[in-house]
């Protein structure tokens, strides 16, 4: 675990926020049993996934995304979640629309 003290005199908003702790689970199954110990409602979580993999194994990738969304909702219901799809440049626009439709089906459950 790394922590960064955020301070920049020109950015007083961040200076007043304190310390940021970054925990990287990497989506590895070995962390599934313990990750909930680190989830808090005051946290902000990044759910990062590879868009190019979504085309190859949509069902599996959606299962994993749903797992992490469900876990955060269960253990930290008021936390913010930011979803980040990487490798967008490797996916055609029409495929991005398909992925967006599938993600929307899952996200709407948690709204």
| Tens of pLDDT, residues 28-77 | 777 777 778 878 888 888 889 999 999 899 999 999 899 889 989 999 98
Residue 3, pLDDT score: 39
80: left (phi > 0), else alpha (psi -120 to 50), else beta? Answer: beta
C-alpha triplet 7, 8, 12: angle, nearest 5°: 90
Compute the mean pLDDT over every residue in the chain, rounded to the nearest whole number: 80
Say what percent of the chain tops pLDDT 90. Answer: 34
Burial 27-42 (b: 16+ CB within 10 A, else e): beeeeeeebeeebeee
Q: Is 103 exposed, middle or buried (0-12, 13-18, 19+ CB in 10 A)?
A: buried
Question: Strand, coil or helix: what is 48?
Answer: strand
DSSP state of 46: E
Distance of CA 71 to the CA centre of its chain: 11
Q: Is the pTM of this model over 0.85?
A: no
């Amino acid at each position: 675990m790394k922590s960064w003290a955020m301070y920049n005199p020109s950015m007083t908003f961040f200076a007043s926020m304190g310390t940021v702790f970054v925990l990287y689970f990497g989506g590895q199954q070995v962390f599934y049993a313990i990750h909930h110990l680190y989830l808090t409602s005051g946290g902000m979580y990044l759910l990062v996934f590879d868009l190019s993999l979504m085309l190859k194994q949509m069902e599996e990738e959606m299962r994993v995304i749903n797992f992490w969304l469900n876990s955060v909702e269960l253990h930290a219901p008021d936390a913010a979640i930011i979803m980040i799809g990487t490798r967008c440049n490797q996916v055609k626009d029409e495929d991005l629309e398909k992925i967006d439709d599938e993600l929307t089906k899952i996200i709407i459950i948690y709204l």
